[in-house]
Structures are given as C-alpha cells and as structure tokens.
C-alpha cells in the first residue's frame, strides 16, 4: 500500500506541474495570438512550438502512466479520489506561481475536496481493520431451481 501511495504522490505532483505549465504556456500564447475559430490552426501550431506547453504535456503523460500503475495496484474508488489532492496543490501553486486570484470561496471548495480525500483514505484504512464477515448459504427454493427437481 505504501508503494501505491508513493506512486500516487508522484503522479499528483506530475499532474499539478502539468496543469501549471499548460496554463502558463497557453496564457502566454494567447497574448501572442488570440484564439478564434478563424485562426485555430496557427494557434495550435504555435502552441506545439512552446517549450512550456511541451513540459506540461510531458508532465501530464507522467501523471497518466503513474495513474495506470496505481490502478493496477488499487481500486479505482481509492485511486481517483486521492488524485483529487492535485486540486488543492494546483490552487495553492496557481496563487503563488501564476499569481491567480484564489479567493476564499475557491479555497473553501478545495478544503471540502481535501476533506473528502481524507475520508476516502481513512475508509480504506478502516476497511482493513474490519473483521471478515462469515458467508451465509442461501438455500435455493424449488421455484427457482432451473431443473425443476425438488
């Protein structure tokens, strides 16, 4: 379980880095060439010439492959909520590195997300501590017997 958490931690950092780099690269690009339906092709050609955009794409690719590794080791109902930690990191880093206006409403939302993530993480830990329940045998009634034998 520790290895899976380490993989998820690195994945979250890679995903957050990817989001920040893509945002920075695309905002810089939009200052050069404003996107419209008439100039979509040159806009995206220019986007793929940006080192910042490629760094973002590469970081998101690292996230994706580590996410696949995590899914091979744990249930998706555990893995996906833990990757939501990236929302919190992205909001914090966007404020300090991209100078975005992250107001109290956004921070409250990220705290709610974080609370949900903690609840999911604790649910996995407590599920391991629960005793195994005994399986009960359910007798098949004669009306549901496919062979008609009684």
Quick one: pLDDT band at residue 68, thresholds 50, 70, 90?
very high
Alpha-carbon separation of residue 89 from 14, 64, 83, 111 (angstroms): 11, 17, 11, 11
Distance CA 46, CA 138 (A): 65
Under a CB-based contact definition with an 8 Å cutoff, are residues 23 and 93 in contact? no
Under a CB-based contact definition with an 8 Å cutoff, are residues 78 and 124 in contact? yes
Give residue-wise pLDDT tens across range 113-145. 888 877 877 776 544 433 334 444 545 444 455
Rounded to the nearest angstrom, the gap between the alpha carbon of residue 95 and the centroid of all alpha carbons in its chain is 20
Asked, for residue 13, whether it belongs to a domain, the answer is yes
Q: Print the domain residue range for 54.
A: 2-129
What whole-number percentage of the chain has pLDDT above 70? 81
Under a CB-based contact definition with an 8 Å cutoff, are residues 49 and 32 in contact? no
3-state secondary structure of 149: coil
Asked, for residue 77, whether it belongs to a domain, the answer is yes
As for how many domains the chain has, the answer is 1
More confident residue, 123 or 58: 58
């Amino acid at each position: 379980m520790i290895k899976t958490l380490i993989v998820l931690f690195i994945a979250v950092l890679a995903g957050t880095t990817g989001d920040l780099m893509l945002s920075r690269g695309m905002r810089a690009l939009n200052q050069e060439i404003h996107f419209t339906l008439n100039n979509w092709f040159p806009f995206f050609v220019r986007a793929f010439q940006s080192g910042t955009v490629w760094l973002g794409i590469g970081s998101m690719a690292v996230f994706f492959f580590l996410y696949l590794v995590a899914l091979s080791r744990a249930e998706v109902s555990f893995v996906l909520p833990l990757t939501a930690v990236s929302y919190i990191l992205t909001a914090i880093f966007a404020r300090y590195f991209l100078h975005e206006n992250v107001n109290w409403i956004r921070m409250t939302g990220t705290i709610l997300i974080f609370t949900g993530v903690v609840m999911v993480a604790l649910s996995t830990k407590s599920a391991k501590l629960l005793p195994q329940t005994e399986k009960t045998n359910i007798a098949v009634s004669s009306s549901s017997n496919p062979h008609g034998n009684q």
